[in-house]
Amino acid sequence: MKSVASAPAKVILFGEHFIVYGGKAILCAIDKRITVESEIVNSDTIQIDSDLGSITVSKSEPVDKVDAKFRSVIFIAQKMLKQFNSKSGLKISIRSEIPAGVGLGSSSACCVASAGSIAGLFTRYSKQEILNLALEGERTVFERASGADTASCTFGGIVEYTKQGTKNLDLSPKFQLIIANSKIVHSTSDVVARVKQFKESKSDEFAILCDNESALIEEVLDALEKNNSKEIGEKMTVNQAHLQKIGVSNKTLDLMVQSVKDVSYGAKLTGAGDGGCIIALVDESNLKGTLNALSEHECFVTKIDTVGVEQKLVN
Ligand code: PMV
């Protein structure tokens, strides 16, 4: 018997980086998935086969000695084997449609799908329990992770996230999102560390930006409620300016955002920045024009994933 779980990618609509310092973020799960299949095997190892490579480690391998690419999944596997007193090993296969390292939550979705799949071999976890396990796994690699990405990949839909918890916003938006990939791979932990330096060296400026971002997000929640795409887009452009000020945008991202300024409702980088993707907010009236403006870049129009993590047992 195999336990199969999948989880969606995500984009951060508003609030990246500021969320690390106690703000609110608004995220949207999107229709690209990572799928993890796991099965119990008669061995004392954990084997992972994935698009990023393969690894076999002993069940008792210290997790900090494991290649960072596989560490969170190995942690989740070891924790479950121990918790359910299993004498067996595990074979895990990971397949992803989510581009890695470009701010679409591939590592969070991997942690969520792995937690759902591996836990599903032993028990039936709620989404909240899957999230708790996934986040513990994610923090073995990225200690300061706010948990926003993991929550979005777990619950799906559009969520409002604070470190206190996740609120599913029950919305049927009129807008659509275009994602354009700069193809510049970033390291979230490096960018987060740089923002920490900014906060420490320019604490007053950072505090004002945090306040401005919080006020902006309250206005966005209102605009989302009213389904006002034009206003939501304009606020994305304001959010981009906050991200530029803390130094996480770059020339490529600025130019990409600039190129859709007059045609979309608004645009911003999404995720850690320093590369990765931008999102542009559109509807049917300006979708084609925005895609044309971004034609030099790999882009796609997303649908919202309303399901989040899914788990099933198969023979
Ligand atoms: O890893 P990314 O690119 O999806 O960005 C994570 C979002 C941050 O706010 C920068 C970090 C966090 O832990 O929330």
pLDDT digits (tens, 9 = 90+) for 210-219: 999 999 999 9
Mean pLDDT score across all residues of the chain = 96
117 CA to centre of ligand 1 in angstroms: 24
Instruction: Please tell me if the CB atom of residue 105 comes closer than 6 angstroms to any atom of ligand 1.
Output: yes
The total number of residues shown for the chain amounts to: 315
Index of the ligand 1 atom closest to the CA of residue 102 = 3
Q: How far apart are CA 124 and CA 135, in angstroms?
A: 18
By percentage, how much of the chain surpasses pLDDT 70?
100
Instruction: Please tell me if the CB atom of residue 272 comes closer than 6 angstroms to any atom of ligand 1.
Output: yes
Instruction: Please tell me if the CB atom of residue 99 comes closer than 6 angstroms to any atom of ligand 1.
Output: no
Index of the ligand 1 atom closest to the CA of residue 248 = 10
Q: Which residues pair with 39 in a beta bridge?
A: 2, 91
C-alpha of 77 from chain center = 21
Kindly report the number of other CB atoms within 10 A of residue 18's CB atom.
26
Provide the pLDDT for residue 95: 98
Instruction: Please tell me if the CB atom of residue 16 comes closer than 6 angstroms to any atom of ligand 1.
Output: yes
On the question of pLDDT at 172 being above 90, the answer is no
Instruction: Please tell me if the CB atom of residue 192 comes closer than 6 angstroms to any atom of ligand 1.
Output: yes
**Residues forming the active site:** 149
**Backbone φ and ψ of 51, nearest 5°:** -65, -20
* Nearest CA owner, ligand 1 atom 10: 272
**Domains in the chain, CATH or no CATH each:** 2-171 (3.30.230.10), 176-302 (3.30.70.890)
* Amino acid letter, residue 88: S
Q: What is the pTM of this model?
A: 0.95
Q: What is the pLDDT of residues 222-247, one digit of tens each?
A: 999 999 999 999 999 999 999 999 99
191 CA to centre of ligand 1 in angstroms: 9
Q: How far apart are CA 50 and CA 92, in angstroms?
A: 8
Q: How do the residues of the chain divide into helix, strand and coil, expressed in percent and rounded to 5? A: 40, 30, 30
Instruction: Please tell me if the CB atom of residue 23 comes closer than 6 angstroms to any atom of ligand 1.
Output: no
66 CA to centre of ligand 1 in angstroms: 23
